[in-house]
Amino acid sequence: MSPHVGVLALQGDTREHLAALRDAGAEVSTVRRLTELNTVDALVIPGGESTAMSHLLRELELLEPLRARLAAGMPCYGSCAGMILLATEINDAGVPGREALPLRGIDMTVRRNAFGRQVDSFEGDLDFVGLDEPVHAVFIRAPWVERVGPDVEVLARAAGHPVAVRQGRMLATSFHPEVTGDRRIHKLFVDSLE
């Protein structure tokens, strides 16, 4: 039976992740409510705007239930804003009261918009641990990782900084593989669920 993977559908590139996960062999659905969160085996947190997503998680009363599911071991993959939210600590988290809130899924410190503003977005090929060929990475107002804990494996780097990490069955990338048509990172995540 295929794993049931939810995509947090509050804001961001939900549709692209749903397609990539289907292609990788998962059963998929969107998650906007606690009842939907409770039905999934794993979750993807897409790119978007981390402060807006944090605000919506609070408003929809999903923040603490999601933190609890992650602490209990629910696998999760976060891209870009998803990476920011999965961190234990966020540097430059935003304006107090409207800041990005860490879900504490991966023992890391992440800096928001580390590569610069929207106009500084870029693409490039990265070596990625566990994949034979480089990954074409699309960075859009992307974060980078400034600190990793002892149990965190760095899977890829850009400009000397970690941009893909894994801790147990938690995966995070600061770039957007869902927009490239390359399904290998989603497949890596789905395969880890079996």
How is the chain split into domains, by residue range? 4-192
Mean pLDDT for all residues in the chain: 94
Band (121; pLDDT cuts 50, 70, 90) = confident
pLDDT of residue 93: 75
CATH tag, 4-192 = 3.40.50.880
The predicted model gives 87-97 an average pLDDT of 87
The verdict on whether 99 is a catalytic residue reads no
Q: What share of the chain is helix, strand, coil (3-state, %, to 5)?
A: 25, 30, 40
- Annotated binding residue 168: no
Is 116 marked within a binding site? Answer: no
Cα–Cα distance measured from residue 79 to residue 72, given in angstroms and rounded to the nearest whole number: 21
Task: Report pLDDT digits (tens) over 124-177.
Answer: 999 999 999 999 999 998 999 999 999 999 999 999 999 999 999 999 999 999
Is 32 annotated as belonging to a binding site?
Answer: no
Please compute the mean of the pLDDT values over residues 73-85 and round it to a whole number. 97
- Active-site annotation holder among 17, 55, 76, 80: 80
More confident residue, 36 or 119: 36
Residue 123: predicted pLDDT: 92
141 appears as a binding residue in the annotation? yes
Query: Does 80 participate in catalysis according to the annotation?
Result: yes
84 contacts 51 by C-beta, under 8 angstroms: no
50 annotated among ligand-binding-site residues: yes
DSSP string, 132-149: SS-EEEEESS--EEEEE-
Q: Which residues of 61-83 are buried (b: 16+ CB within 10 A; e: fewer)?
A: ebbeebbebbeeebbbbbbbbbb
Catalytic residue, candidates 17, 55, 178, 186: 178
Q: Is 48 annotated as a binding residue?
A: yes
Active site residue 176: yes
Phi-psi region at 53: left, alpha or beta (left = phi > 0; alpha = psi -120 to 50): alpha
Q: What is the pLDDT of residue 171?
A: 98
